[in-house]
Structure 1
């Protein structure tokens, strides 16, 4: 029988690790938040620079963890449309933006107005500039997912040190920050808008199957390296799932993202689909008639966009339909002349694949050039245009005259460019997976046997889906040769779906539905504090 002294000694030994964890947690909390006087000073600084309407409600301070608020992409449109919705319904709320951009509030808001046409009132906006964004910008040569996720903790620590909000809203997907917020205070709800999971079961499957398109070629060739990477992904997925479980309210941008996030975070009741807002107003004004045989592609020249599949599909199209091949006697047109012919009514007699995309760096530029060379090797370069970093005004012209849209990325989480092509009146062929399959091209035409008859035209599909080069070629051929009734039916159905399902108003309605319970929880907490 152990004596009392032994039991005390055992309890002390067992308590040491627990005490160490508690002490470490308290140390992190103190280091991150600073003193109470420091936080009060930060809050007074924000109060002095903002003027929310507190005539009927006390102010709440929302912290938006969005390190690139000036980037001008789809994620930024979500951020600023969300903030605009908050300003319209909750004028007593102050939106604090944790930003890695060295720009003033006024400069950022001017850019938001220019890029998105959104007028944001400056009196409830405050920008907290962060100086350590490089933690998530740096391209770690190894264990990139893990290192950037851990780096986000350092960035979030600086953000909270500079101001601790009433609500923490993550709009970029850094789930590893959620446990940190929970550690600092269980009274700070974590709201997440997730564009795509940092890791998914699909990614793990592709690693395990050693697909060269997804893995580094050296890893794909090695069974041992593939196994090690697969183990790393499994461990990371467990850590990501644990971190995500600390979110109070989760919004996802598509059904595909929703399914993966529910599987990972385990919070189906707290997770709702809120489709991103798409600016379809200008595109929806384009006439549906007068279209030319232009096959349009809009996507950054990144590897995952799979532009090579587009070249292969177009080559299959020309091989299967010799009538689409431009005779050797005809001179191919440059982009400017081609657009001029569209404007003056001269028209285009043979299909042309027009691939428009942004190039972020020299690697993207090299990929664009590789596509030109691939088209030349296949003998179709006379009917293929690769246009890099075209201005939006020129893109609008291409969309105005194009007839077919093509998207080939596998497991695209949403696909805003697909929505834009649908709104512009193009007959769109998208990859039969993820967001396009589950949310956008619904219902879809899958091959020649799926084309509706005249009697079925009351419920038109909104586009086509395909997987292989042959399937894409078949769908493009159907679209190019579609009867007027079929083409107009699909165009109108697609435009209606794009304008209604993915509009700014639809986004606001869905956002209010998810965010409303958070506001009610804050009110209840404040009422309880007042009663005490």
Structure 2
């Protein structure tokens, strides 16, 4: 077997075919390595859906659940290869530095104190207990590995959790070229779009409450990951009597249609490490309203809300304006998140290990 220069830890390849922000990081890294003629292999715990990528995995079938634990279990797949470098796009400090240099691209740790589904209910707190115990035993990896954070919000949480110096920040790649197809300075409707997977941790109920309190119609777009939660949202929608459409598993080209219509993008997820859909919306010329408690507030602090009442006030202020100048400003800001910027910065980091 020829020498593998980079093993890319990408646990999610065996979990879903669907488009996601983390998946976009995987494929942008793969693309960069191919362009630079750097031999690589992808490493997942379960069998990847995409068989075109050279891969190593441990179980011969797809496993769509236990995301957090697959991020740990992928260690057993990684042990099968000895590359010059591990690039860990799954963001968990599995103990790989003893095998080869280990770069971790990470968001705020699930064991940190930042708000998430793991801090909101007893079920999720219990779910995370073994995960916390395992991570507490491998904290030294934070001192051995090189960590890159996906936002300053994440960098602060990483530093506090693992008691290390605040790591370097490289914002994730966004397909701004694709979403720029929806950009225009013409008429837009008084409506909002939310893009988030239909799963409990995304807090989509906040979008329904936002619609109820503001009277603004909207659409919610995302992969359907949790049918029970989707049904709960449907009941809440009926109870609140809001004009909101659910559009699960919508093709990406169809997403553009709604982004080209809307004035506002509303992001419901408190504690989001970054929020790639927010930049996608900005590239489309849509004005985002985002939680203050999130990495996305770094991008648009003037459109960040403390609570839903705050979000409603911001939205109503936007709707009475001619938004063309704001749309142009958002679009231009989004261009700095082009995937080529990410590729260049990541290559600058990994090249130091490949000489």
TM-score band, normalised by shorter chain? 0.7 to 0.9
1:241 positional shift:
2.7
1:237 positional shift:
6.1
Change over 3 Å in CA distance of 1:308–1:69 after alignment to 2: closer
Cα distance in 1 between the residues matched to 2:310 and 2:40: 47
Cα distance in 2 between the residues matched to 1:307 and 1:392: 20
Cα distance in 2 between the residues matched to 1:492 and 1:129: 45
Change over 3 Å in CA distance of 1:246–1:138 after alignment to 2: farther
Unaligned runs of 5+ in 1: 1-43, 48-58, 110-124, 208-213, 220-225, 319-350, 446-463, 524-532
SS at match of 1:268: coil
1:495 positional shift:
0.8
Q: Does 1:157 align with 2:85?
A: no
Cα distance in 2 between the residues matched to 1:126 and 1:356: 31
Who is 2:345 aligned against?
510
Who is 1:471 aligned against?
310
Who is 2:113 aligned against?
201
Change over 3 Å in CA distance of 1:189–1:133 after alignment to 2: farther
Change over 3 Å in CA distance of 1:243–1:138 after alignment to 2: farther
Who is 2:103 aligned against?
191
Cα distance in 2 between the residues matched to 1:234 and 1:65: 20
Cα distance in 1 between the residues matched to 2:271 and 2:288: 17
Who is 1:246 aligned against?
144
1:215 positional shift:
1.8
Who is 1:481 aligned against?
320
Which of 1 and 2 has higher RCO (CA within 8 Å, sep 6+)?
2
Rg bigger for which structure? 1
| Alpha-carbon contact 1:424-1:495 (below 8 Å) kept | yes
1:385 to 233, 238, 245: 245
| Alpha-carbon contact 2:43-2:77 (below 8 Å) kept | no
Normalising by structure 1, we get a TM-score of 0.59
1:311 positional shift:
2.3
Q: What is the Cα-based RMSD across aligned positions, in Å?
A: 3.2
Cα distance in 2 between the residues matched to 1:283 and 1:74: 14
Who is 2:59 aligned against?
131
In terms of fraction of residues, the more helix-rich structure is 1
Unaligned runs of 5+ in 2: none
Who is 2:223 aligned against?
358
| Alpha-carbon contact 1:414-1:435 (below 8 Å) kept | yes
| Alpha-carbon contact 1:301-1:368 (below 8 Å) kept | no
Who is 1:491 aligned against?
327
1:252-299 residue CA offsets vs partner (Å, 9 max, x unmatched): 211111112223344437x31111110111322421212111221111
Cα distance in 1 between the residues matched to 2:346 and 2:25: 10
Who is 2:21 aligned against?
74
